[in-house]
A = this chain, B = another copy of it.
Amino acid sequence: MPYKEIRADFEHLRKLFIFPESEDRFIEFGQMILNMLHSYFREKGGIHSSVSLKSLEEMFSEISIPRGPHLLKDIFSEIEEKIISNSVKVSSPYYIGHMTSAIPYYSIFVEMIIAALNQNQVKIETAKASTFVERELICWIHRLIYNFNDEYYNSSIQNRNVSLGSVTLDGTLANLTALLIARNKAFPADGSFRGISEEGIAEAYKYYNVERSVVFVSRRGHYSIDKINGILGVGTRNIIKIPVDKYNKADVNLLKHEISKIEEHNKAGGARIKIIAIVAVAGSTETGNIDDLYEIRKCAESCGAHYHVDAAWGGPVLFVDQYRTLFRGIELADSVTFDSHKLLYLPLSMGMVLFRNEKDPDFIKHNSTYILRKDSYDLGRFTVEGSRPFSALRPWVAMKVFGSEGFRLLFENAFKLTKFFQKSIINSSCFELLNIPELFIINYRFIPEQISDFIMETASSDSRGYDAEKIIEINTALNDINKDLHRHLRHEDNSFVSRTVLESTQYHGQMIVSLRAVTINPLTDDNILSEILLEQQKLGEMIFRDYSVRIDSIIKKPR
């Protein structure tokens, strides 16, 4: 402990629970915190702070709970020195590596309100106005996606026996809620069978003579889908991952083929395979592409599967009328995931799941004896979560601050940034574009000018001219170079893009190390993007020197 413990005294501690008589003292403290945050954000310098992970390990290695109380001012100084200054500046315009970006500054005041009211959304007794605010928000997003008529919304917005959707703690839980409903709907109560949730999976399979149930998702689906199928007892190996086409969209023909194989199997008699759900992606986290939601919907319909669209990331783009066509078919999804901490530019974390059919949430409804009353206003009747904060206030306020018009402007700007970045890569002689961005994610890699012609020519030749072995070897070397480059970028710490590994569409599925930029921050501009790329080019060229002999020998190797 760098500072002193004080004597524990009940009256002193009790005072911490009272809002100070005069707001002055309260403001005084608030001001201290605001100054602290302010100077952190205005400070120039790196994104990650230069402290090593090793030093952080040492910094936070006190193994016991402090015994006595400490003074607030000492604790806040410790926070400033050890935590704030060693945080990742995710809001920096040079940080274009992840889905977390800048948040509007007023939103940190909204957090104060959420915490101060401390409403628990599980139950009307602990959440009064906030219950109705949450329902209003859900209605807005439902309408954005499904666009039913006014009459429907007027009669359901505050109808406590209708659930248009749920606020969840994050996107994973929104997907979990949707797939839980899908699973329960696939094995409903029937005769002596009381439904899969009550009887368990093994009994459900027995009753319905099913040997296996499956979930379809694109290979670009979020990893939470795997996790969820493990949790739900379906089994991760029963996820059928559909390969993507060169636009990183699930290949609908391959999906149809897989479905027809299952249908044939089922026709043959004996235990059946049940398709629980088909999951489409609207803005994949890796490449930002949107599946063909309309065509996939037809597949789901044909086989009677629940149709879920994971629009955790891309959903808010629906605000922009001109881009709605990208999402054609989302209005036919049985359920949709939509996050507020990604493209709504809000602090972590809150997800939502919306339902086309208001009866679907009944498949997970619990009016658990004495805590949640059946015909009450209790939102907890339909959620996987229990206690839950009033996070709905965040997007509710954001909708008013920006309006759909305001979000349109933010996304138009993000589209411009994406186009600029994409063009810069295409026009450069030392980068290769690895996906065709639909939203705001660009995958690319550094390729030294000296070999870029060679690899492009060799890769694009016809089957006779295509030298698979050489391409594989060169790509392996390029993977190493790009990993090195990313390491150097982290070390320089002037900007941040993320690194991923993509199953390539242009290199016959070879795994390609890729740099990944998410160009959504309203504070980022074309100059910043150019600066970022220039640094990557310079570092890449420097790194290449260590690889030139290796690459040269690959190129010169006879076939």
Contact = CB atoms under 8 A, between A and B. Distances in A.
Interface in A369-410: 369-372, 377, 384-390, 393, 397, 399-406, 408-410
B400 A70 contact: yes
Number of copies: 2
Q: Report, nearest first, the 3 A-B pairs whose CB atoms are least far apart.
A: A233-B233, A200-B235, A223-B368
Contact of A388 (B26, B170, B200, B390): B170
A128 B202 contact: no
A162 interface: no
A403 B69 contact: yes
A522 B19 CA distance: 13
Interface size class of A (residues with CB under 8 A): 35 or more
22 contacts: A10-B412, A14-B522, A16-B104, A16-B106, A17-B103, A18-B523, A30-B30, A51-B129, A58-B158, A63-B140, A64-B143, A69-B402, A87-B127, A90-B120, A100-B118, A100-B126, A103-B115, A171-B387, A201-B202, A233-B233, A286-B370, A341-B387
A65 B237 contact: no
Interface in A74-132: 75-76, 78-79, 82-84, 86-88, 90-91, 97-98, 100, 102-109, 111-120, 123-132
Interface string A1-36: 000010011100110111111010011011101111
Nearest to A41: B19
A233 B199 CA distance: 8
B202 A211 contact: yes
Contacts of A387: 170-172, 339, 341, 348-349
Given A27-B34, A33-B109, A60-B129, 19 more contacts: A8-B402, A16-B401, A56-B129, A60-B133, A63-B150, A64-B140, A64-B143, A65-B144, A72-B401, A75-B397, A88-B125, A91-B118, A98-B120, A98-B126, A172-B385, A200-B234, A203-B235, A224-B386, A347-B389
A347 B115 CA distance: 5
Contacts of A227: 366, 368, 384
Given A37-B19, A118-B91, A230 B172 contact: no
Contacts of A402: 8, 13, 69
A232 to B, nearest CB: 6
Interface in A129-155: 129-133, 135-136, 139-141, 143-144, 150, 153-154
B231 A522 contact: no
A420 interface: no
A244 interface: no
A247 interface: no
Given A13-B522, A33-B112, A125-B98, A69 B38 contact: no
Most B CB atoms within 10 A — which of A9, A17, A59, A410?
A: A17
A302 B540 CA distance: 61
B523 A17 contact: yes
A68 to B, nearest CB: 4
A60 B201 contact: no
B87 A130 contact: yes
A226 interface: yes
A384 B172 contact: yes
Given A79-B113, A84-B117, A49 B200 contact: no
